[in-house]
Amino acid sequence: METSPAGPPHRLDPAGGCPHADNARLLALGGVAAVELPGGIEGMAVLGHDALREFLQHPEVAKDVRHFKALHEDRIAPGWPLLTFATVRGMTTADGADHRRLRSLVSRAFTPRRVDGLRPRVEELTDALLDGLAAADGVVDLRQRFALPLPMGVICELLGVDERFRDRLHRLSNQVVATDIGPEAALAANRELVAVLGEMAASKAAHPGDDLTSALIAARDEGGDRLGQEELIGTLVLLIVAGHETTLNLITNAVRALCAHRDQLDLVRSGAASWADVVEETLRWDSPVSYFPFRYPVRDLTVDGTTIPAGTPVLAGYSAAGRDKAAHGPDADRFDVTRPARADAVRNLSLGHGAHYCLGAPLARLEATVALERLFARFPDLELACAEKDLPRHASFVGNSVRELPVLLEPHA
């Protein structure tokens, strides 16, 4: 039987916060929930694991913004904080042949073989960052000093981004994924991001190198329909934002989890579990992305017994699906690095599923695994410098993490 979502729409807090309590409450009502987006825009979130898996690969669910009903009815104000997610030109807002064309232009850089070839460089960057931490005294913000510069360094090297652009790109990326940002600041951040990437692309066009940006520019300059200028900038936005924000949150969340569950850290050290197990359990238990925008049913669609009207902006509720007890068992709220491998049908979905599965997933897993193994080898007694509950949360309901990670590297020294 088809139903409407139970209860009034859940208002997503623009300031973010920890999503797990709200997720549990919503999941108790069903796998699909009505939500209120910033600006009073009606949307929906797919939260249940099985419902989300079905929705992510449904042939009548689109990514193209032309299906966003409220936008085409002029109900979305300029500077809406989620507008970039909907309108950026790139593979995350493309369907069918357009999506395959755009994805093929960058996919070769992220094959398992290519990613494995990056391991020595990831290890080198990790060790250099740890050397810098070793020279620090007192409390260190591990997010800013370690979890951020590692993936940012790797993706910028892949893209050939000059050092002079990197700090600005991270700051602007942070503003793009923020959901508590005001309209004027959102518009300014988007204009600046496009300008910085345009400057970077112009520099690469004049002085091409052996990097992904130069390859994308060559595809643009070949003419035809391979890549347009807007698609070039949109693809760079996607690669830079997704290429470091997700892994930044993943490393941050894994360190928090291990500090709060020393017994699980001991299991890894004893050989009862691997660092790869830590990464997989973190992806499930505390997904780096909470609610990812947007997908749109092209017709009224029934998912888990609930009707989602055509043109509704739908969020993928990755953090909720990771703790769905119907899929992951009655202990889904427990962080357990020895959790047995599940069948393909119930693996965690935090890096997506279907045609839009995250291209950078192998790279994110490699970076996080190397980072955690070497961090805890260098600083085995590392601990949080404050209570977990006092850590300031990420100001976004899209990203799921904390803004700072103050730690004591050698608390007993």
pTM summary value:
0.94
pLDDT of 35 reads 97
pLDDT of 305 reads 94
Which ranges of 272-353 does DSSP label H, i.e. alpha helix?
Answer: 275-285, 318-322, 325-328
Number of H helices, E strands in the chain: 18, 11
Q: Which element (helix H / strand E) includes 86?
A: helix 83-87
Whole-number Å distance between alpha carbons of 148 and 122: 13
Is 250 in contact with 368 (CB distance < 8 Å)? Answer: yes
Is 140 in contact with 409 (CB distance < 8 Å)? Answer: yes
Phi, psi values for residue 237, rounded to 5°:
-55, -50
Strand blocks (E) in 149-212: none
How are beta strands 32-37 and 10-11 bridged, if at all? parallel
Whole-number Å distance between alpha carbons of 187 and 109: 31
The three-class DSSP label of residue 57 is coil
pLDDT of 278 reads 97
pLDDT tens for the chain, 413 residues long, are 456 655 689 999 998 889 999 999 999 999 999 999 999 999 999 999 999 999 999 999 999 999 999 999 999 998 899 999 999 999 999 999 999 999 998 888 888 888 999 999 999 999 999 999 998 888 999 999 999 999 999 999 999 988 888 888 888 888 888 888 888 988 898 889 889 988 988 988 899 988 899 888 888 777 655 778 888 888 998 998 888 899 999 999 999 999 999 999 999 999 999 999 999 999 999 999 999 999 999 999 999 999 999 999 999 999 999 999 999 999 999 999 999 866 555 678 999 999 999 999 999 999 999 999 999 999 999 999 999 889 999 889 999 999 999 999 988 76
pLDDT of 113 reads 87
pLDDT of 348 reads 84
Instruction: Quick: pLDDT tens for 354-391.
Output: 999 999 999 999 999 999 999 999 999 999 999 988 99
Instruction: Quick: pLDDT tens for 211-263.
Output: 899 888 888 777 655 778 888 888 998 998 888 899 999 999 999 999 999 99
pLDDT of 7 reads 64
Q: Quote the tokens at residue 217.
A: 């520019």
Whole-number Å distance between alpha carbons of 232 and 227: 6
pLDDT of 162 reads 84
Whole-number Å distance between alpha carbons of 122 and 354: 28
The three-class DSSP label of residue 140 is strand
Whole-number Å distance between alpha carbons of 156 and 294: 26
Question: How many C-beta atoms lie closer than 10 Å to residue 199's C-beta?
Answer: 13
